[in-house]
Amino acid sequence: MTSRKLLFLSTISKTSRSQIPSHTISFPPHHMVLTHTHTMSTTSPTPPPTHTQKKKQINLLRGWPSPSLLPAPSLLSASHTSLTNPSLYVPGLQYGPDPGYQPLRDEISRWLAPIYGVEADAERICVSGGASQAVATVLASFTDPGFTRGVWMVAPCYFLAGGIFEDGGFYGRGERLRGFGEDGEGGDVEELEREILKVEETEWPDKPVYKHLSPQRKAYKHIIYVVPTCANPSGTTMSLRRRHDLVNLARKYDALVICDDVYDFLQWPVVSSLSPPSPSSPLPLPTGTPLPRLVDIDLALGRSEHDPEGKWFGHAISNGTFSKLIGPGVRTGWVEGTRDFAYGLSQTGSTRSGGAPSQFSAMVVAEMLRAGEVDRHVAGKVRPALQRRHGMVLEAVRRELGRYGVEVVGEGEEGDGDGVYGGYFVWLRLPADGPGAREVAGRAKREENLIVAEGEMFEVPGDERSPRFGRNVRLCFSWEEEGDVVEGVRRLGGVIGRMRDGVEERVMDGFDASRVYK
């Protein structure tokens, strides 16, 4: 315990630490670290000016790729090739077939087969308008709010997914949209099964109430939403054992597992943050990654007792996207499942009416895949840059936040092996004897023009029984440039230090509290 008086104890959250994964990196406590800017003293700190000059905004909430990682030249080349060849641009500019632009389906199946060690089959792929649009389409075609018992999300969860499920009819103040906890191996399947059994004790209709889906589609009794690899926000990767357990549970209770497999190709070996690698050195996927997808585990088990006669819909799908590999603006992704599931998804009413989503972009992306540009871009630019940024943010957290007892949760334990990480984010835990995440994030915004994501954003909407995250903060290292990411962590450390020391809050000139950040 330091000699400094902590004047913000009234902000301490009542959150139970037992609800949060215990696998952490612990930095030295406050009293063990001395720096030039934070020295040990028994005197009261000198209050800073009540107004400070407005600073450049740094946004460590925004989960976007940096502009420097967008492959504009490759997109230009692929667009030129496509738009100068009538055999490509005529179908590319028309309404597309329901399952999507066929050349892209072919290219995706050929591209993924050697990575995951599966047989290429384009008929198991349905093109989407991105991962979020795909989830909404799955809900439209494979759920019925009167029959489907509910949606289950790993907590902490991707904070914008809840709205998609609520729009699909699953809210009900925590009764229809529910959370279950996470540990070092991913979502807690035993906890999930206990909660499903409670729901199954209630009487439910034995067939869909509001929709006529057969024979090309079906309504599942449960939807389970997970990010198996490099989860957002925690960074956790579900172990192989846990993946098998979750598939078996889904098959037992007629559930569909929607797997956002959006970070599978963005994994790297964790390196010393003191000597980050060059951001331009080609970087292959680490050995042993990606792990087998849940969809492949389910496919290997064949039909289940819940499949209708003559159909095989399966119990897990892979929801992929090019948003993290090329750029979010291409609005192109894919869903992979059984052949019957892929075809059923293509029969969603909006797709049947408007044609395949993302037809034009699909044409361009297909050309990039065919030319090998996607692999070159990801291995040569995206993965190396993210690996370097990750190392830099870890070092910045150690240097600027470790003295206050801030911990990085779940670092380097992914991929069923040590030293592998991935994605866009690091997940921090604040100490119990200081201010909570909401207070820290609010003051950082007002005082430092720094935007960070406080942990309560990642709680399952409306479910008061699922885990709480009032002492967690998510930092994104993919959007801002490297120097600004490090500077953002430095500013965050300054805020936490001043709050712990009881320094009066400064008001930043020109601050607009009404602005909304994403």
Mean pLDDT of 356-385: 97
Helices (H), 330-372: 339-346, 349-354, 359-370
Q: Provide the pLDDT for residue 84.
A: 98
Q: What percent of the chain has pLDDT over 70?
A: 84
Taking Cα atoms as reference points, which of 153, 136, 112, 164 lies closest to residue 320? Answer: 112
Q: Which domain holds residue 208?
A: 131-266+282-321
Q: Provide the pLDDT for residue 3.
A: 39
Q: Is the pLDDT of residue 31 over 70?
A: no
Express each pLDDT in 440-459 by its tens digit.
999 999 999 999 999 999 99
Q: Is 230 within the bounds of a domain?
A: yes
pTM of the model: 0.87
Number of structural domains (the chain) is 2
Q: Do residues 175 and 292 share a domain?
A: yes
Q: Is 85 within the bounds of a domain?
A: no
Mean pLDDT of 157-179: 91
Q: Among 33-42, 64-73, 366-375, 436-445, which is the least confidently predicted range?
A: 33-42
Q: Is 89 within the bounds of a domain?
A: no
Q: CA 173, CA 462: separation in Å to the nearest integer?
A: 5
Q: Is 513 within the bounds of a domain?
A: no
Q: Provide the pLDDT for residue 18.
A: 37
- Quick count: other Cβ atoms within 10 Å of Cβ 76? 11
Q: Provide the pLDDT for residue 52.
A: 61
Q: Provide the pLDDT for residue 512.
A: 55
Q: Provide the pLDDT for residue 417.
A: 43
pLDDT bin (cut points 50, 70, 90) of residue 10 is: very low
Q: Do residues 52 and 143 share a domain?
A: no
Sign of the Cα torsion 410, 412, 416, 421 reads positive
Residue of 511 and 314 predicted with greater confidence: 314
Q: Is 330 within the bounds of a domain?
A: no
Q: Provide the pLDDT for residue 19.
A: 40
Q: Provide the pLDDT for residue 28.
A: 42
CATH (domain of 207): 3.40.640.10
CATH (domain of 28): 3.90.1150.10
3-state DSSP percent of the chain in helix, strand and coil, to 5: 40, 15, 50
Q: Provide the pLDDT for residue 153.
A: 98
pLDDT bin (cut points 50, 70, 90) of residue 11 is: very low
Q: Is 302 within the bounds of a domain?
A: yes
Q: Provide the pLDDT for residue 51.
A: 53
